[in-house]
Amino acid sequence: MLNLNSLREYLRRGDSSDRSVRSVGSVGALLLLLVAGTSFAAAPANFEQEWAKLIAAAQQEGTVSVASGGAPSRQYRPVVDVFSKKFNVKVEVSTGNATDTVNRVLAERKAGKFTMDVALISSRENQQRLVPSDSLVLLPPLLFHPEVVDLSAWYKKRHMYADKFGKFALIYHAGLEDQYEAWYNTDKIKEAEIATLKNQNDLFDPKWKGKLAGQGMGDPSGIRQIIDSYFEPDRGPEWVRRYMTSAGVTFSDDRRILETWLVNGRFPIHFIATGTEDYVALARKGLPIKPHLMIKKQGVLRASGSGCCISAFANAPHPNAAKLFINWFLSKEGQTATHNLIPNLDRASLRNDVPFGEVLPQQRRGFGKEYAFPDADPAMGQKQEEIQKWAFKIWESRQK
């Protein structure tokens, strides 16, 4: 399998004066050279035979180990159960957040222990840690199921990747943000009062101080919210600085604490709310919380959180089971399972041929509508790393 070492070797051999080849912007063409002769653009003519052989080999291995974080660790058990029953291959899914999972996996790999096959990990962890550590293999050579390699079934008729090389972390789910979503306690904040929050700068009205809660920078989703806000036309760098330092927001890295604060009204507004399936479920049970939506200038697709991307580990202990899982998971059946078996799903598959199922109405892409998709831009990874460093400096300064 081809991995980042192949790319590095090519760059070492390349003419240093040929900047057009050596630039990040040419990586797509470069990788096509690297994988020339490798069949991944179309399903093999003898697919059924190859698929049967792969199933048999995966069953011989018996297990596929999935490193996950966030949403997959909490929500994907019913989905992987479908795979296990269909192919008689056990799926072991890690628990906990993405950062802790990657910490453990990288420590194991450094010690020469290769325990994981597949990653369902956030774009941030892929970009900043898994790809640079040479922990992953190129994904396109593993894709051969007809439903997966048929690009006509995918959004924009192509596979989109979250890493800067565009070949390691495939985006399978994306959240739609054409509105900002805040949540508030209806016992503490009246509807007429929350209605005065119309644009993003309204947050800085002194009347909201002491009422706001938000995810801290120790939470991977909290970091992602800050990075996303930096690039938002309605927010931007100065807005982020004010939000973090002078808006009177009380932060927590524990989402259960944020949930408790919202429900009991201690901090009755969670202004930047993402991954809100738990809030939706609580509201449906009759608890006094409700979303407040504010229109964005431009609709954006986000590959945020661990429920967005799939990648494959180098030196996988169960390579055949990994290949089988990846192709099934990205097939129409696998992606349909994510829509039908994950309640209150706050994102949608980038496949265009699966029913919406449990996908929340506001997450359903409109037919023919155009959306910005910065996370699928190969250059965005480097930009996000730079903004994260900037944001951490601000965060650390407020702690002093």
Please state, in angstroms and rounded to a whole number, the distance separating the CA atoms of residues 73 and 67.
9
Q: Is residue 378 part of a domain?
A: no
Query: Are both 255 and 391 inside the same structural domain?
Result: yes
**Per-residue pLDDT tens for 88-145?**
999 999 988 888 999 999 999 999 999 999 999 988 899 889 999 999 999 999 999 9
> Are residues 197 and 155 part of one domain?
no
At 240-289, the pLDDT tens digits run 999 999 999 999 999 999 999 999 999 999 999 987 888 999 999 999 99
Whether residues 164 and 27 share a domain: the answer is yes
Asked if the model's pLDDT at residue 400 lies above 70, the reply is no
pLDDT in tens, 151-185: 999 999 999 999 989 999 999 999 998 889 999 99
Stronger pLDDT, 309 or 32, i.e. the higher one? 309
pLDDT tens for each residue of 282-313: 999 999 999 999 988 878 898 878 899 999 99
pLDDT of residue 41: 53
Q: Are residues 115 and 200 in the same domain?
A: no
Residue 8 pLDDT exceeds 60? no
184 and 293 inside one domain = yes
Instruction: Identify whether 376 is part of a domain.
Output: no
- pLDDT at position 370, please? 81
Instruction: Say how many residues make up the chain.
Output: 400
248 shares its domain with 290: yes
Q: Is the same domain home to 86 and 217?
A: no
pLDDT for residue 34: 40
- Residue 265 vs residue 41, higher pLDDT: 265
Tell me whether residue 381 is in a domain: no
- Residue 197 in domain: yes
Q: Is the dihedral of CA 131, 137, 141, 142 positive or negative?
A: negative
Has residue 36 been placed in a domain? Answer: yes
* In-domain check, residue 281: yes
Q: Are residues 92 and 11 in the same domain?
A: yes
Which pairing describes strands 309-313 and 136-137: parallel, antiparallel, or unpaired? antiparallel
Q: Which residue has the higher pLDDT, 71 or 17?
A: 71
* Mean pLDDT within 23-51: 56
- With a cut of 80, say whether residue 334 has pLDDT above it: yes
My answer on whether 30 and 149 are in the same domain is: yes
Q: Which residues contact 96 (CB under 8 A, 6 or more apart)?
A: 69, 73
Number of domains in the chain: 2
17 lies in the same domain as 162 = yes
Residue 160: per-residue pLDDT: 96
152 and 16 in a single domain? The answer is: yes
User: For residue 374, is it within any domain?
Assistant: no
Residue 10 has pLDDT above 70, yes or no: no
DSSP letter (8 states) at residue 154: B
pLDDT at residue 44 in the model: 86
Rounded Cα distance, 76 and 69, in Å: 11
Per the structure, the complete domain to which residue 19 belongs is given by 4-172+308-365
pTM of the model: 0.71
CATH value at residue 59: 3.40.190.10
The answer to whether residue 22 is domain-embedded is yes
Residue 241 CB neighbours (<10 A) = 17
Same domain (yes/no): 182, 269: yes
